[in-house]
Structure formats: C-alpha cells, structure tokens
Amino acid sequence: MRAREKLTVEEKVSIALDLIKRERSLEEIREYYRVSHTTAYKIRNAFLEGGRRALGGVDKGSTDLEARVRALEKRMSDDKKPARRKVPGRKPTAAKANSKRWMQE
C-alpha cells in the first residue's frame, strides 16, 4: 500500500497517539500517513506494550526467555556427542575404502 520510505519514529508515535486520542478517524489517520489498517494498529499496540513494560519495571517475559535460553545452552553442552570411535575388528565398508583411496591419490 505504501509508496514511500519507512515511517520515522516520530510518525509512529503520532499514529499511536492519534489512535489512542480518537480525535481523528482511523480512515483519516490511514490516509494521512499512508498506512494500512493492520500497520496502524500494530504500531499502536507496540506503543502501548512499550509503555506497560516501562511502567511495570522488569519484563517478566524477557526473564523467562533468558532462563529458557540458559537451560537450552546447558542441555546442548551436556548433550555434546563424543567423537566417533572405531569399533575394534570391524572393517570399513567398500564405499569408505574407495573414498579413502581416492582421497590419497
């Protein structure tokens, strides 16, 4: 829908505030800033969520995500497989033997 560059931060704040104040209709806001209905409401919702986070202190969601990342990193380090070892008495398959010969040539 847009025929111009990205919105600036100031424009996004203006869109969010215009939607919150309800002094102009959504249609007027969309036409003025040349944004879709979805984009306008995504900007408003992001603006409100940022305000909630700022007023609420530490974001519980980010601490949960950080804890999950640490747990996954620990699992990955615990699950590291040891290097493949050769089984005694077992001969390499013909394909492996051929590839080894080819690599030596």
Is 19 within the bounds of a domain?
Answer: yes
pLDDT digits (tens, 9 = 90+) for 48-102: 999 988 888 655 666 788 888 888 888 888 776 665 666 666 666 666 656 656 5
Domain that holds residue 70: 9-77
Q: Residue 44 pLDDT more than 90?
A: yes
Is 90 within the bounds of a domain?
Answer: no
Q: Residue 41 pLDDT more than 90?
A: yes
Is 94 within the bounds of a domain?
Answer: no
Q: How many domains does the chain have?
A: 1
Is 28 within the bounds of a domain?
Answer: yes
DSSP the chain: ---S-PPPHHHHHHHHHHHHHTSS-HHHHHHHHT--HHHHHHHHHHHHHHHHHHHHSS-HHHHHHHHHHHHHHHHHHHSPPPPP-PPTTPPPPHHHHHHHHHHH-
Is 72 within the bounds of a domain?
Answer: yes
Interval 17-31 mean pLDDT = 95
Q: Residue 3 pLDDT more than 80?
A: no
Is 85 within the bounds of a domain?
Answer: no
Is 66 within the bounds of a domain?
Answer: yes
